[in-house]
Structure 1
Amino acid sequence: MTIALEPLALRERAPLDTTRLDSLLGDVLARIDRMLPQFGEYFPAPSSQQGVYAAIDNVEWTNGFWTGLLWLAWELTGEERYRRVAETNVASFATRIERHVNVDHHDLGFLYTLSACAGHRLTGSTQARSSGLEAARLLLKRFDPIARVIQAWGDMKNPKERGRMIIDCNLNLPLLYWATRETGNKDFAAAADQHLARAADLLVRPDASTFHTYYIDTKTGAPRHGSTHQGFSDDSSWARGQAWGIYGFALGWRHTRDARYLDLASRLANHFLNRLPADGICCWDLIFTDDDQTPRDSSAAAIAASGLLELAQALPLSDELRETYEAWAIAIVTTLGEAYLAPLDGSNAVLLHGVYHMPNKAGVDEACIWGDYFYLETLMRLRHPWQPYWA
């Protein structure tokens, strides 16, 4: 089923030329520089409180996004201050995996792709490679061969969590593809392939909206039911989940060259874009489309923008949607830079007005560290020919 894009409602704006893009990048670097003294040995909490991230140890699922920010800043500038802190982080991730500190979940990809795997690619660190491979081995252990999915959370014997997949895992799969390339062991990629196929079959509804989570019977492999964990309702589409889907299926095409995933990413993108408010920044759930009283989620917008560029790059040059997706990504990222940037005084974040977990009332209208990362990643894609850490 094709999901057509409605007529563009982008407000008129000047093209994002190199001067303007460099200005936006400078704004981000100024905010990272402001963060460096506080987070040299620590990490920002997943979301802020009143625009300020607390400093935490390397214990959360989100810590890789800070290290990813540092690697991006170093690639962009060559300034050693970013590399020094990033390498300190990588050593911390090596210790974390050795001691098994909060690693019994599927977010090992978020943690280690942006820290250890990126570090190994950029510096050749053998320590980074070793910890990345150990993280991939732990992630592979979460693969259920009957359900054919990577279990998101909980002990693998927990009956409430067995066979549960969530759409976020699309961005954890690159860790497994990386491990196959590094070792030649095809088991990693095979598990990723099977999970991705199940995600395509079960997480995407006919109208190209998405379930956040889905349960599969681990005795028979039969689908059970979809639901939400952080969205408005079981039949709505949580905005960040839709963004994970856009980006994750586009990456699925990158890793498998299966055209099904390219088409799926495009359908999800159209569903997402058709439901944006006038300023182009999504509400926290796509059931809300233009309600000024509903919190926006700048972090979901940033993920989607980078995913749209990944998708556009994969499309043939003759495909008219290639230019459309690029235009939307530029529109989103420009609005983020104009209206969602954290102030230099009174905050230690990059972007404000994100949403971490609405049902739990956590991080609502706050900064989210993954939003900061994907905002810079999108700008990086626009500024330079750049190889994503997820590749």
Structure 2
Amino acid sequence: MNRKTLLFSSVLFMLSASAAIGQTKHDLALDKSFIDGQLAASAKQIKVLAASTPDDQFPKTFEKGAHVFSGSRWWCSGFYPGTLLLLSEGTGDQELQGLALQKLKHLEKEQYNKGTHDLGFMLFCSFGNALRLTGDSTQFKPILATGAESLTSRYSPKTHAIRSWDHGKWKFPVIIDNMMNLEFLMQVAKMTGNKKYADVAKTHANTTIKNHFRKDYSSFHVIDYDPETGAVIAKKTHQGAADESAWARGQAWALYGYTMMYRETKDKAYLNQARNIAKYILNHKNLPADLIPVWDFDYDKIPSDSKMYSQRALRDVSAGALFASSLLELSEYTKGKESKNYFKKAETMIKNLSSDIYFAKNGDNGGFLLKHSVGALSLNSEIDVPLTYADYYYVEALVRYQRLLAGEPLIKE
């Protein structure tokens, strides 16, 4: 075998090995007609939302019979175009891709936004999917690269973490949600060859393991650091029931984030973290039988004199959608009964999210797909309403499952 043939064979081997990541075989209980049917129903429904959405605005929710929109600076702005793109991928409907690309024109300027940590949500869910589906590297790669540079400007070598917020009483707040922005950095590191982005992502993930988790692997919402020394000042919540409670969506951000970090690095510390978080979630006594969580796992500890008491048992479908998508992926990196358990639980979540209890009838719900999410009960904000990110991760779970039905890798880059 000559040198060129050997090199070519090596490249083929690496490509095939990369493609094989995440191809654990499972017995698929949800058939093609069900998954394709839900994607088609979602595509039909989101066109109702599209018809009501102003050109330069982004859907947030539908509350008290009225749409609530935001400008591009709101942290959720990337989810709607991202959902359109995923639905275009899942259905082949090019109209949806066209709607998404039009919306990206109004989001593009956020690549320069250094005032938020949420650029992964804003840019990677939108422009990242656009790059993957269109292959237009000339248009989309520079936006992603600039956005990653803006995000890393918030990293501190003293705290070893990316600052989340610039508001409130906090000194250097880092929220568990920030784990979701690390995929953006990992992908841009590969795209540009600049390992700085991956180094920041891994350091942030390691710092979060050290400081954000309790012994049972539940997560605090907010860790406040001393910006000069890097010491932990406080462990608090902003959207959960209490500082010591386990806010459901926070646990979902953690599960998704560490599963993804294992995929990107093959560091088993991240895999073990994800497995332990999953164990906490799936074995919790307060996880409902249908596996769609209440907004806080410790809702039963809310005192009767609390303003949250009457609504304490509301579900958060956004956390359920995140659990489903995360567990599908985590099942790919584990073995035997453990892998099967994750996969079957994800299937149950997808099936239940697709039921009339949670999935809206066409034309209802303002055109949003899922009902019954909770933004922040403690802040009296977005209570029992649809939320744009719930729809995004639900569709992501459907598309991931569709790939498995087609014999394709769960994750596509």
SS of residue matched to 2:217: coil
In 2: Cα distance, 1:344 partner to 1:51 partner: 15
Q: Distance in 1 between matches of 2:228 and 2:110?
A: 33
Q: Find the aligned partners of 1:278 and 1:315 in 2 and give their Cα distance.
A: 24
Deviations 1:206-235 (A, max 9, x none): 111110111222222222331111000000
1:388 positional shift: 4.3
Q: Residues 387 and 277 from structure 1, CA distance in 2 versus in 1: closer, same or farther, beyond 3 angstroms?
A: closer
The one of 142, 162, 167 equivalent to 1:130 is 142
**1:284-295 correspondence runs (5 A):** 284-288=295-299, 294-295=313-314
Q: 1:32-90 CA distances to partner (integer Å, 9 max, x unpaired)?
A: 12222223624443232036533443231101111111111111122221111111122
Q: Deviations over 1:81-100 (max 9, x none)?
A: 111111112222223435x4
Q: 1:229 aligns with which of 208, 224, 238?
A: 238
Percent identity, please.
Answer: 31
1:83 counterpart = 2:97? yes
Going from structure 1 to structure 2, the CA distance change for 1:21 and 1:118 (only over 3 Å counts) comes to closer
CA contact (8 A) 1:250 1:310 kept: yes
Which amino acid counterpart does residue 343 of structure 2 have in structure 1? Answer: E
- Per the alignment, residue 283 of structure 1 pairs with 294
1:329 correspondence with 2:336: no
Does the Cα contact within 8 Å between 2:77 and 2:107 map onto a contact in 1? no
> Which of 177, 195, 199 is the aligned partner of 2:208?
199
**Compared CA separation, residues 251 and 153, structure 1 to 2 (3 A):** same
Please say if residues 179 and 205 of structure 2, whose CA atoms lie closer than 8 Å, have aligned partners that are also in contact: yes
Of residues 147, 153, 161, the one that matches 1:141 is 153
* Selected match of 1:315 from 325, 334, 347: 334
| Whole-angstrom distance in 2 between the partners of 1:162 and 1:130 | 32
* Residue 26 (str. 1) matches residue 40 (str. 2): yes
1:90–1:119 CA contact under 8 A, matched in 2: no
C-alpha contact (below 8 Å) 2:59/2:80 kept by paired residues: no
Partner of 2:71: 57
Q: Which amino acid aligns with 1:18?
A: K
Partner SS state of residue 129, structure 1: helix
Q: Distance in 1 between matches of 2:149 and 2:312?
A: 44
Does residue 388 of structure 2 align to residue 369 of structure 1?
yes
1:342 aligns with 2:360: yes
The SS at the match of 2:369 is: coil
Aligned partner (choices 332, 353, 359) of residue 378 of structure 2? 359
| Alignment-derived partner of residue 268 in structure 2 | 259
Question: Judging changes above 3 Å, is the alpha-carbon distance between structure 1 residues 51 and 73 closer, same or farther for their aligned structure 2 residues?
Answer: farther
The answer on whether the counterparts of 1:106 and 1:150 sit within 8 Å (CA) in structure 2 is yes
* Cα shift readout 1:290-330 (whole Å, capped 9, x = no counterpart): 999611000110011101111111224xx311110011111
Q: TM-score, normalised by structure 1?
A: 0.89
SS in 1 for 2:277: helix
The equivalent residue for 2:400 is 381
Retained in 1: the 8 A contact 2:325–2:396? yes
The amino acid across from 2:344 in the alignment is: A
Deviation at 1:280, TM superposition (A): 1.5
Cα distance change of structure 1 residues 332 and 200 upon mapping to structure 2, 3 Å threshold: same
SS in 2 for 1:37: helix
Counterparts in 2 of 1:1-16, with a 5 A limit? 15-16=29-30
Bigger Rg, structure 1 or 2: 2
The one-letter code matched in structure 2 to 1:343 is K
TM-score with structure 2 setting the length: 0.84
The 3 A distance-change label for structure 1 pair 370 and 80 is same
Measure, in 2, the Cα distance between the counterparts of 1:95 and 1:127.
13
What's the CA shift for 1:30?
A: 1.7
Residue equivalent to 1:169: 178
Q: CA offsets per residue over residues 136-167 of structure 1, 9 Å max, x none?
A: 11100000101000000117xx9x44432111
Are 2:110 and 2:147, in contact at CA under 8 Å, matched by a contact in 1? no
1:72 maps to 2:86: yes
SS in 1 for 2:233: strand
Q: Is 1:46–1:60's contact at 8 Å kept on the other side of the alignment?
A: no
How do 1:110-125 and structure 2 match up within 5 A?
A: 110-125=121-136
Task: Tell me the number of residue pairs that the alignment of Structure 1 and Structure 2 aligns.
Answer: 369
Whether the 8 Å CA contact 2:88–2:97 is kept in 1: the answer is yes
2-side partners of 1:50 and 1:175: how far apart? 35
- For 1:36, the equivalent position in structure 2 comes to 50
Bigger shift: residues 38-47 or 260-269: 38-47
Q: Which amino acid aligns with 2:330?
A: L
